[in-house]
Amino acid sequence: MKVRKDDYQDILEHITNKRWEGEEFVAFLNDDLPVGKEELYTFPTEYDAREFCYEMSTDIDFYDFLSIRSAYRTMQEAKVNTKLLIEKNGIIDVSLMVAVRYERLEREQLNNNQNSKVMNQKNFDYLRDQVKYTGFGEGLENDLKQKVQEGNPEFKLAYETKYGNDTVNATLNFSQSKQSDMYFNSYQVSVQKENSAETMEQTFYINKGNNITLKEAYNLMEGRSVNKDLTNKEGQVYNAWIQMDFKQSDDNGNFKLKHYHQNYGYDLEAVLSKHPIRELSNDEYKSNLMDSLKKATCNLRHFRSMEQTKSSISKQILSSRQSTFMTAPCKGWITGNQKGAAS
């Protein structure tokens, strides 16, 4: 469809009006001569437009048709960006402009698809590492990849493991942000003790720099304290002991987590020195023991004297000038060559 430059605006308005009247296709004599609006024939369906062109075409004259939407969008875009106009000697080739626009849109779509694939891969890699380092390992990788590829705005993954004789089930929650990336938002943990029908449930939220791992979540739900490096709103890193307060819960039924930072005056090394633990005489063993207690992990420890047996070093009151709190890094301490066991 070729039109005179002087008729461009008039024809644009004409086919736009026809579109609003319910017409979808415009047919025209396709040769080197420009057409006026009186030489344009509009139809509501592609079939009608194609039949018209077939009946009107001869060995000399060839009729063709365009989608009205494509035609008026192409013409409107060229009004805004005159570089899109294809003009020669005052005649504008709208059909060629529509074809060029189609090619441009296809290239843009291809580039968008390629960029989307790169973004999806980066998003998947980020989620995979986040899931892994939150304590769920690599076993969910295939399920995670499938869910990301499905493109749903939110999804869940299920995970089950055992700590000792306790069964731990977790549901990982993912949702899409306004920027289109998927995010690992939270996970619900359910702990069931051996030979018990009752379960304890708690939701842990994923926060950059302050994530609670699955093992830490289990230990907190078991009443132990966990030592972690955390990040405040200003991006500053600080160390704190975290403890679950079983006497207080929020509106969602989650037990509140208490944080005790350095200013509370708790000195783990000083507390351990008060107990007859054989490993404290070896710097390497002492360091490993302190690391285990900070992670609320129970390992083999030997008390120096049967007479000095302690049933637990966990329930100690740790006082500073202004505050007191109870920490339970490891329950069930016993004597001799026996292992400490978490209760």
pLDDT tens profile 103-156: 988 888 887 777 666 668 888 999 999 999 999 999 999 999 999 888 889 999
pLDDT value at position 209?
Answer: 72
Kindly tell me if the per-residue pLDDT of 6 is higher than 50. yes
3-class secondary-structure state, position 161: strand
Give per-residue pLDDT as tens, 49-63.
Answer: 999 999 999 989 999
Q: How confident is the model at residue 264 (pLDDT cuts 50, 70, 90)?
A: low
User: For the packed helices 8-20 and 68-80, what is the interaxial angle rounded to 10 degrees?
Assistant: 140
* d(C-alpha 211, C-alpha 110), whole Å: 38
Select the more confidently predicted residue: 316 or 161.
Answer: 161
3-class secondary-structure state, position 311: coil
Kindly tell me if the per-residue pLDDT of 18 is higher than 90. yes
* d(C-alpha 138, C-alpha 22), whole Å: 56
pLDDT value at position 296?
Answer: 53
> 69: Cβ–Cβ under 8 A, 6 or more apart, which residues?
19, 24
Query: In whole numbers, what is the pLDDT of the chain averaged over residues?
Result: 80
